[in-house]
Structure 1
Amino acid sequence: MTQPQTQAVRPKVTYIKGDLVLFRDVERFWLGLPGHTFVGRVERSWTHADTRKVLYDLVELSANRHRAGIDPDYMRLLPAADAMHDIDSAPLSEPDAGAMTPAAVAWLRQHLGKDSSALPARP
């Protein structure tokens, strides 16, 4: 007996200028070439005259290169919550600041300076 195949359903997302996205150069991906996935910033959206599909122009952040006509089927939003997870989950009760990620330590130093009285008391 064969198992029914399931297919992931991607919710419809509309990107706006300034959104950070992960996007894939689909041709490089299907050809098995390296360097097919990039982080980009949305610059604008536009509708293709023939297909009426909404496409996006991005700036590839690693190379500061403009990429035009990116299909949103090959884009995914990079949520701020994921980027800030290490800070949000930093072990503030750890006596060793080295146990925290550098980003969490930097955030704490910036917000607390030399005054550690704002830290919560240890239970």
Structure 2
Amino acid sequence: MTHPQMQAVQPKVTYTKGDIVLFRDVERFWLGLPGHTFVGRVERSWTHADTRKVLYDLTELSGNRARAGIDPVYMRLLPATDAMHDIDTAPLSEPDTGAMTPAAVAWLRQHLRQDGSALPGRP
């Protein structure tokens, strides 16, 4: 009896300058070497002259190092909504700020320093 094989399908994504992405050095990954996955910022896209494939140049955020010719198959967009989830879901009615994540507390402190009169309304 054969079973159908489940396969993940990567959506076709076009990245733009400034996007924050997770990318993987596929050679290091398959060789089992450490340091194969990085967070980067898209600097530009370009088309390879021979293959006509769109590639990306990134800046690795942890070391501010340039990475050129990254294949988008090994990139994933890191959405702002995921990065800001802790702030967006902070328990504002909670009297104990220890119940909030450090990022949420930092955002609240910064906002209150700018204008202590009121917190922003809910969207």
TM-score clears 0.5: yes
Residue 106 of structure 1 corresponds to 106
CA distance in 1, matches of 2:70, 2:20: 14
TM-score by length of 2: 0.90
Which structure 2 residue ranges, 5 or more long, are not aligned?
none
Q: Does 1:66 align with 2:62?
A: no
Q: In structure 2, how many angstroms separate the alpha carbons of the residues matched to 1:108 and 1:70?
A: 37
Aligned partners of 1:101, 1:3: CA distance in 2, in Å? 44
The CA deviation at 1:112 is: 2.2
Q: Would you say 1:56 and 2:56 are equivalent positions?
A: yes
Structure 1 position 118, deviation (Å): 3.0
Query: Residues of 2 paired with 1:108 and 1:64: CA distance?
Result: 29
> How far apart in 2 are the matches of 1:51 and 1:64?
28
**Are residue 88 (structure 1) and residue 97 (structure 2) matched?**
no
Cα distance per residue 1:75-121 (max 9 Å; x no partner): 00010000000000111121101110111011111112384x6359x
Partner amino acid, structure 2, of 1:45: S
Residue 97 of structure 1 aligns with which residue? Answer: 97
- The CA RMSD measured in Å over matched residues stands at 1.6
Aligned length: 119
Counterpart of 1:5, as a letter, is Q
Q: What corresponds to 1:6 in structure 2?
A: 6
Which 5+ residue runs of structure 1 have no aligned equivalent? Answer: none
Q: How does the TM-score come out when normalised to structure 1?
A: 0.90
Identity of aligned residues (%): 87
Aligned pairs for 1:25-64 within 5 A = 25-64=25-64
Q: Which runs of 4+ in 1 moved over 2 A?
A: 112-115, 117-120
Amino acid at match of 2:61: L
